[in-house]
Each structure stands twice: as structure tokens, then as C-alpha cells.
Chain A
Amino acid sequence: MIEIQHVSKQYVANTKAVDDLDFTVHNGEIFGFIGENGAGKSTTIHMISGILEPDAGDILLDGHSIITDPVEAKRTFGYVSDNPDFFMGMKAIQYLNLVADIYNVDATTRKTNILSMAQTFELDQLLNNPISSYSHGMRQKLMIIAALLHEPNNWIMDEPLVGLDPKSQHDTKQMMKDHAAKGHSVFFSTHALEVAEKLCDRIGVIHHGKLLFIGTLEQLRAQYDATMSLEDLFLEMTEHA
């Protein structure tokens, strides 16, 4: 469970990148975070994952504060960054082992998880190759494997489907559904509204740092127009915000 409690972040004076966000992502749900470029999605995700510190408020991951108890909070999630170009000099297996070491994953679990997920993403034959020889999509897949390696309760992803081929997109979405079905939570940001429409249990719409809407698609349609697609609803909301 991810609890975001009155969180704000400001980079420049008089402009809040994130302004008093307050919502909860429950266990067992897939939560889609939608917004335009610069709306505050990545800032929010960076604060949840501990990259940035909020100026105000707190974020609890399975009850652990990312500010006061960062190490325990970080154990609870797996994070997929929007930039998969990490540790290019390492071999994929070295990177996965590094992540497994840091999360204290035992030898048997890491082997089972790495091999099964690598097979799903068709990387099993390439694990011994340097990350630099991987394509963007392959690196993205590797980051997803690394994020799920320690079987985290919360899965946090920044634009996870960007750069993936159709099959991998399908597999990733299926993994998200499976993860939520096991009672875990999935939090991801996306520009692809049709993905959010089909995949998410609830969505949050952020605009200029403020949360415009949070709830199910049905609640959104009830609030605006039942016949409108999510894309139209999104445009309607952000234009009149």
C-alpha cells in the first residue's frame, strides 16, 4: 500500500511542481497516474521512490515513511525508471545479481525469478551479455525484471511501456495484473490513455501539480459525460482546470 499524505514539492519560487497531493494506492489495485508533460507525474514518482525529498507531507510504503524510515520503505517496492540506460558497462546478469544482493534475495529465489522472467521477455539467452549491447526495449525489460526480482509488495513504474514491443507490452500488462491479483499494488504513470482505460482499477489525473481527479473510470464518467472516452474526458478536465 502506498499512502501519499499532503505531499508538495517546489523547484522554483512561486511554482509548485506538486501541490498537496493526498491519496492512497491500495493493495490489490492497479493505479494509473495520468497527466500532461510537466504535470508533476515524474516528480511524484521520484518522491515515492526516494530520489527526491518532499518539501511537505509524507509518503508511507506499507506503513514505512520514505522520509524517516527510507531503507525499510525502499524494501517494499520495485522501481522501474523512465530511463533504462543504467550500468551500461555491466553484464545483465551482473546487474540483476547486484539488485538481488542489495535486496537480500537468496540464491534459489533469484535464480528462479531471473530465469522465469527472462524467459517471458526472451532475454534468457542474452543475460551474459553487456547491457550496452541491449536495445532500448531490452534494457526496459531488464529494469522490469530487476524491479520484480525481490517480489516487492509495491510496484512503481515511470512510463513502463515506452519502448517495448507489442508482445512485451502485453506481457508487462499481464504481469501487472498478476501482481495486483496476488494482493500487491501497482502504481504507474503513463501518457497512453487507452492503456490506463483498459488496465487500471483506479486512475489519478494530475495537472499543474494538483490532483484533478481520483477514482474509477466509471466515477469519472459519472462526474462528466458517460459517453465520453477517457481521452475526451482527460482533455475536458485539463482544459477547464
Chain B
Amino acid sequence: MHNILLLTKVLLKGQFQGMVNATTMHGATKKKPSKGAKIAMGVAYVVLFGYLIAGFTFLFSGINTMAITYQLPQLSLMILLIMVLSIGLFMMVFAMVSTLYYDQTTSILLPLPLSATQILAARSIVLLIDVWMLVILLAIGPLLISTIQLGLTIVQFVLLVFMIFTICIIPSCILGILLMLIMRYSRIFYNKKRVQLIAFLLFFAIYFIFLNQLGSSTTAMDDASVSVTLLSTISQTIGSCYPPLRLALNTVMAPSFIDGLTKFMIYIGLTIATVWIYFKVGQTIYLKGLVASMLNGGKRKVSRVRDRLFQKHHPIYGYIQKELHTIFSSATFIIQMVAPVYLLTGIMLVSIGIGITQGETDLFELITMLRSLGIDQWIAFMICAFVLFIASMDYCAGVMISKDGQCASWMRTIPMSALDQSIAKLITAMLIRMPLILLACVVAPLFQVVEPLSALTMFFILVAHMVVCDVFGLWNDARKPYLNWTSEIQAVKNNTKVLVGMLFNLLAALIFGGVYYLLLSMISKRLMVETMMMLLATVIIVLTLLIQRKVGSHLLDAVH
């Protein structure tokens, strides 16, 4: 036990120290920040996290009011537990592979006199704490507001807190057992990239199957109770898919003490049994899988180098190729940096596709309605706002230096100026987002959803938003790049800079969308609105690119 705690402490320190240093220390000098900077940073984090907590509290306040109106108090608690479970599992799917199998500390831990159970236990605790940190952040507001609004007793409150902290344990253990079996017995999964991509695809396959099931069970809803019925259906569907969730809820909302105690004991028993099986399996197969994972693809067959591989390219082109290769050779980077944006884009395209073929999606109904009201100028605004929202999820530029990790010092030894390297990184980030912009601006007029002029305006707005966000992201990363990570996920996810970047993107989207909205509201001549927006976007692009010249020349100041 002592060894597990010691190892956990060391792993946690390694994980969080880098994260803290990356956000508090001055990147170039490694000096601690001044008192004023610390206070400013503290205020920024309070605002940042306050914004998140307030958002979720507000959301749950609405759900609670609705649940009370329809006399379904257990509904909002179920939604809260589902939210915790979904977020926890989503994090686990990706973090588990990296933390249990592909952490760089493996080669240091394996020669130490530690048992498989000790290493597994320490890493599992680190994983759980990682999940808990986000869960606490997102669930604290909903927990308190639900306790007040639903009038929960102290015992119910304590039980609810306990359930929030433990609800992820059983499914995480099941996931862990599956992963250990795969890593031990299947050679095909020795490749990290493959493991993570398959985990990702499996997760989304389950997600879409669930959505499909949900969709088919909510077709016969009347308008008045649509939200409550939808939420109830979600709860019922997830509850039947995962019985411990229902058990946890019934424990909190039990009508009598004996009933509650019985259910609580069953829940605890189930959790302990799953954890026991997890460690039993781990004791037998974890180490063998861990050793195998270190091969990282194992031996490969020899293949001939062809003449076409010796082609000469411009240095910036070569550098961009390297950047793209770094991102697309890592499933973690693909999943964290690229996939969310393209998944949402996929949903958007599917929605348009279904609308075109069947004409029955909400989006197309809304478009038809706006056209019938003669205010179809808002269609372009609506699509633009939607794409701006999706684009805000893309924070590639914000981790462009951090993702290089220990390789970053190489960037300082090559005969390429910091500005050129920043241009290459910026172009890479833009290349990743550009297909989304082009899709929106080409597909929309192509299917006569918007007029070509509006599509052009949309293009200018989206490009301006992209340029502003990417330059900010690059600057933010250049200030304090997080290079000493031991697991890729730390560089692109467990990093407060990512959160700051996404919030900045959202803020920029709000401003661009807001200006477009104001102009459309105040000026009746559409040609004038579109021209003004295009001019404004052009000015912003030019100004930002001028700022980029300054930012770019200091790109490598904090890289050593």
C-alpha cells in the first residue's frame, strides 16, 4: 500500500507539476511570475472556471424547474449522474490507453521492484483523480443548485456526492479489463495509434447507436412535454443500458432508510467486486501487455526507398509536412485536435444531406420558415454562427509548439527563422480548419441554402475568425510551451491553455457573430451589410497578420 501511495504521489506530481509550470512560470526565463501576474492569473482562472460553473448551474436550474413542474425530481438527478458518467467515460476512453500503456515513465517503472498491481493501482488512481478534477468543476454548481431546488436532505446530499465520485468506477474498470485483454492477447493492438483510433471509433459507434435508439423512441411526442419526455427517454435509455446508474439514483431517492441502505450496500458491493476483478485481471496480464506495448509496433518489414522520396521542396513546405505528420501520426493528436471539429462538421453535413433528401430536419424546417417570413438573410447568419461555434472547438494552433515536446529544441538548431517556422505552423493549423470553412461556404450556396454573396461574406468572416484565433493560440503557446510532458494527452488536453484557447475562440466567434447580427438588424440593404462585413474581415485579417510578424519572431523564445 505504501508503494502504491508513493508511486501515485510521484506520478501525480509529474503530471500536474508540468501543467502548473506551463501555466504559471515565465516560459523564456523559467522565473516565477510577479505577485501582480499571479493575481491577474488567479482572477483569470476564477472568471474562466466561474463561467463554466455558472453555465452548468444555469442549465441545471432550468432542468430542475422543469422537473419540479412535472413532478419528476429524480429526472434532474439522473441527468446530473449521466453527465458525470458521460464526461468521465469520455475522458477515460482516451486517457486510459495513454496513461496505462503509453506513458513515458514505463521504462523507468518496469525495472523497479514493483508488482503489476502496484503500478496498475497507482496509474488507475492518477486516472481517476484526473477525471474527478473535471467532474468537480462541472458538477459542483448543478449539485448545489439541485440540492437547494429539489430540497434534498443532508443524507441525500452526501449520498449524491458519493455517487458523483464513484459512478465512473464500474464502467472504467470494465473498460480497463477490456483494454488489458486486448493489449495482452492481440498483437494487432501493439500499435498505439491503432488502439486509440479503434477506441475512438468504438465510442462514437456506441454514441450513434444510442442516438438512433433515442430518436426512434421519441418520435411520438407532443409539443408541450417535449423536453421532459426527451430527457426522460434519455434517462430511461441510459438507465436500462447501465443498471448501476439507476441503482445509484434509487439509493439517493430511496423512500425509506432500510430501502436506501439495501440499495447502497448492493451498489458498494458491485463497485468493490468490479474493482477486485479489475486488479485480479491486472495482476495476471497487465505487465505482459505493458512490455509488449513498449515495442510500439514491433519489428517491421523492410521496404525499399523509392527515388520519388528524394524530392526537393521549399523549407516551409517541408516544415508543414513535418507538422502535419506529427499531428496525423498520433491518434491522441488526431482525436483531441482534429476529430471534434470534423465530427461536428460531419453531423452538419449529414443534417444537410438528410434535409435535401427527405426535407425533414429541424435545420431545413427552420430555413423554410425563415424564407416564408421573408427574412432569409438570417439564414446566412445562422449558418455562419453555427460554423463559427464549431470552429471555436479547434485549438490546434494553441498547442502547435507544446505538441513537439522534447523535439522542440531541434527547432532552434535549424537554419529557419522563428518567423518562418511560425508561418509554417500557422499554415498547418489553417490547413486543418480550412476544409470546414470551404465545406460551409461551398455546400451552402451549392444547395441554394444561401446566396453566393452571403457565402462569400461567410467565407471572409470565418477566415478572419480563423486567423485571429490561430495567431492568439500560437502566441499563447509560444509564451509558455508545455514541453516536458510524458504522455501526449498532457500536451493537448490536460493543459489549461487549451481551455483558455477555446474560450478565446468562443469569445471571438461571439464578437464576429455579434457584429454581423447588429449590421443585419440595423441596415436593411443587404449588399451594404455584406460589403461592410467583408471589408471589416479583411482589415482584421491584415492587422492580425501584421501582429503575427511580431508574434512569430518570438516563437521560439521560450523553447530550450
Contacts and interface: CB of A to CB of B under 8 A. Distances in A.
Interface of A: 46, 49-52, 70-75, 79, 81, 83, 85-87, 89-90, 93-94, 97-107, 110-111, 114, 124-130, 132-133
Interface string B310-342: 111111011101100110011000000000000
A98 B417 CA distance: 16
22 contacts: A46-B409, A49-B413, A50-B412, A71-B417, A86-B410, A87-B407, A89-B329, A94-B321, A98-B318, A98-B322, A99-B414, A100-B312, A102-B414, A102-B415, A107-B310, A110-B312, A128-B303, A128-B304, A129-B300, A130-B297, A132-B296, A133-B298
A86 B407 contact: yes
B318 A93 contact: no
B373 interface: no
A125 B302 contact: yes
B133 interface: no
B194 interface: no
B209 interface: no
A2 B303 CA distance: 40
Contacts of A127: 305
A51 B409 contact: yes
Contacts of B299: 133
B302 A129 contact: yes
B302 A83 contact: no
B496 interface: no
Contact of B406 (A49, A72, A75, A85): A85
Contact of A72 (B304, B325, B326, B415): B415
A130 B300 contact: yes
Nearest to A76: B415
B415 A129 contact: no
Interface residues of B, number: 37
B309 interface: yes
B307 interface: yes
A130 B300 CA distance: 9
Interface of B: 296-300, 302-305, 307, 309-315, 317-319, 321-322, 325-326, 329-330, 406-407, 409-410, 412-417, 560
Nearest to B104: A85
Contacts of A99: 414
Nearest to A89: B329
Nearest to B193: A89
A65 to B, nearest CB: 14
Contacts of A89: 325-326, 329-330
A150 B328 CA distance: 28
B319 A98 contact: yes
Contacts of B325: 87, 89-90, 94
Contact of B309 (A49, A50, A93, A126): A93
A141 to B, nearest CB: 16
A100 B311 CA distance: 9
Given A81-B409, A90-B329, A94-B322, 9 more contacts: A71-B415, A74-B413, A89-B329, A101-B319, A102-B319, A102-B415, A128-B303, A129-B300, A130-B300
Contacts of A70: 415, 417
Contacts of A93: 305, 309
B416 A71 contact: yes
Given A87-B407, A90-B322, A101 B314 contact: yes
A97 B313 CA distance: 9
Q: Which of B312, B317, B325, B560 has the most CB of A within 10 A?
A: B312
A198 to B, nearest CB: 28
Contacts of B416: 71, 74, 102
A50 B412 CA distance: 6
Contacts of B302: 125-126, 128-129
A128 B305 contact: yes
A50 to B, nearest CB: 5
Contacts of A49: 412-413
A124 to B, nearest CB: 8
A102 B560 contact: no
B307 to A, nearest CB: 7
Contacts of B311: 97, 107
A107 B308 CA distance: 10
A169 to B, nearest CB: 23
Contacts of B314: 101
A101 B326 contact: no
A51 B414 contact: no
Contacts of A75: 415
A73 B414 CA distance: 10
Nearest to B407: A86
Contacts of B414: 74, 99, 102-103
Nearest to B301: A129
Contact of A110 (B310, B413, B560): B310
Contacts of A126: 302
Nearest to A152: B415
Contacts of B321: 94, 98
Contacts of A72: 415
A107 B413 contact: no
A111 B310 CA distance: 6
Contacts of A125: 302
Nearest to B330: A89
A101 B309 contact: no
A19 to B, nearest CB: 19
Contacts of A114: 310
Nearest to A95: B322
A73 B415 CA distance: 8
A132 B310 contact: no
Contact of A101 (B300, B312, B417): B312
B483 to A, nearest CB: 12
Nearest to B310: A111
Contacts of B322: 87, 90, 94, 98
A59 to B, nearest CB: 13
Nearest to B333: A89
Contacts of B305: 93, 124, 127-128
Contacts of A124: 305
B297 A102 contact: no
Q: Which of A89, A107, A129 has the most CB of B within 10 A?
A: A89
Contacts of B330: 89
B412 A101 contact: no
B313 A132 contact: no
B326 A87 contact: yes
Nearest to A150: B415
A150 B191 CA distance: 34
B318 A97 contact: yes
A144 to B, nearest CB: 14
Contacts of B410: 81, 86
B406 A83 contact: yes
